[in-house]
Amino acid sequence: MQNDIQKAAKFITASKHCIVFTGAGISVESGIPPFRGPDGLWSKYDPTCLELDFFNTHPKESWEKIYTIFYEFMGNAKPNAAHIKLAELEKKGIIKSIITQNIDNLHQDAGSKNVLEFHGTTKRFECQNCLKKSRQPDVSLDLLPPACPVCGGLLKPDFIFFGEMIPSHVNDESFIQAELADVVLVIGTTGEVMPACYIPYQAKDKGSTIIEINAEPSAFTNTITDIFLKGKATEILTQLFNLIK
Ligand code: APR
C-alpha cells in the first residue's frame, strides 16, 4: 500500500492536467452520511421527495423532508482534511478542476475554486414558475415551501432530482475536463450513478491514469482503476499530499 501511495504521488506530481472526481464518501468524515449502504440516507429516508412530479404536487411534504436531510444535516457540516488538501493542491497548480457529485458546497468552503457541481447545489434555488435562480439570504427557509423572491412561485433546490437532466454547461465542461486529464483522482464514489460515472471512463479512454481512493472497492476498481488506495479519504489524501512535490 505504501508503494502504491508513492506511485500515485509520482503520477500526480508529473501530471499536466490532474482532475478530481468526488462522491459522497469524501464528505463522510465531515459527518454527512453516504447515500447507499446500511447507514446510508436512502435506508433511513424515502427518496420520493426527490421525484419531480411528487415535489410539484406535494411541495410542503417534500420540502419538509428535503430540509431535514439536506439543510439540517448538511447545512452545518465543515470541510475535512480531504477537502482542504485538495484545495491546497489546486493552489499549488497541481489540480486543475474538481468535478463533484456532492451538493454540500464543502469543496468551495475548503477554498477550491474550479469546482464543477455535476448534481447542482443546496445553496441555490430555482423558481418552478419564472425559472429565476436565487440564494439565501434572499430566500428564507423559515416557512416551507419557500417562495421565489421575484414572483412568489415555488422554489426547488437547484440540485438534480431523480430523472432530471444534467444542465448542459456543467455536463459539457465536465467531459471536456475528462478529455484533457492525464490523471484522474477518483474519491469516495460507488461509480453507480449515470451519467456522472461515465466521466472517469471517458478520461481512461483518452489514456488517463485513474487513481482511486475509497474505503471499499467500487464499480471502477476492477474496471478502469490503475492504482487503488483503500482507506479513508482524509488519511490517504494526507499521506499523498505529503509526498507530492
Ligand atoms: N473515505 C473514502 N471513501 C468512503 C468513505 C471515506 N471515509 N466513506 C465511504 N466511502 C465510499 C463508499 O465505499 C462508497 O463507495 O464512498 C462511497 C459512497 O457511496 P454513495 O453514498 O453511493 O455515494 P455516491 O456514489 O457519491 O453517490 C452518487 O448518488 O443518489 C445519488 O445524487 C446522489 O451524488 C449522489 C450519487
Three-state secondary structure string covering the chain: CHHHHHHHHHHHHHCCCEEEEECCHHHHCCCCCCCCCCCCHHHHCCHHHHEHHHHHHCHHHHHHHHHHHHHHHCCCCCCCHHHHHHHHHHHCCCEEEEEECCCCCHHHHHCCCCEEECCEEEEEEEECCCCCEEECCCCCCCCCCCECCCCCCEEEEEECCECCCCCHHHHHHHHHHHHHCCEEEEECCCCCCCCCCHHHHHHHHCCCEEEEEECCCCCCCCCCCCEEEECCHHHHHHHHHHHCC
Instruction: Report the residue among 32, 35, 161 best suited for mutation to probe ligand 1: largest number of ligand atoms under 8 A from its CB.
Output: 35
Please state the atom number of ligand 1 nearest to the C-alpha of residue 35: 21
User: For the residues 148-166, what does the mean pLDDT come to?
Assistant: 96
Instruction: Write down the pLDDT at residue 192.
Output: 95
Please state the atom number of ligand 1 nearest to the C-alpha of residue 218: 15
Please determine, for residue 140, whether its predicted confidence score (pLDDT) is greater than 90: yes
Please state the atom number of ligand 1 nearest to the C-alpha of residue 103: 34
Please determine, for residue 1, whether its predicted confidence score (pLDDT) is greater than 80: no
pLDDT tens readout for residues 202-225: 999 999 999 999 999 999 999 999
Place of cell 433546490: 157
Which contacts qualify for 221-227: CB closer than 8 Å, 24 or more apart? 224/200, 225/186, 227/4, 227/7, 227/8, 227/11
pLDDT tens readout for residues 40-75: 888 888 899 999 999 999 999 999 999 999 998 788
* 28 CA distance to ligand 1 middle (Å): 8
Instruction: For residue 38, name the pLDDT band (cuts at 50, 70, 90).
Output: confident
* 151 CA distance to ligand 1 middle (Å): 37
pLDDT tens readout for residues 80-119: 999 999 999 999 999 999 999 999 999 999 999 999 999 9
User: For the residues 142-161, what does the mean pLDDT come to?
Assistant: 97
How far apart CA 226 and CA 208 sit, in angstroms, is 10
Of 171, 228, 205, 207, give the one whose Cα is nearest residue 17: 207
Predicted TM-score (pTM) of this structure: 0.96
Give residue ranges with CB within 6 A of ligand 1: 23-25, 28-29, 34-36, 40, 101, 119, 188-190, 192-193, 213-216, 218, 232-233
Of 199, 242, 236, give the one whose Cα is nearest residue 215: 236
Instruction: Report the residue among 28, 45, 70, 192 best suited for mutation to probe ligand 1: largest number of ligand atoms under 8 A from its CB.
Output: 28
The residue annotated as part of the active site, out of 17, 58, 107, 119, is 119
Instruction: Write down the pLDDT at residue 72.
Output: 87
Range with the poorest average pLDDT among 5-14, 36-45, 126-135: 36-45
* Active site annotation includes 107: no
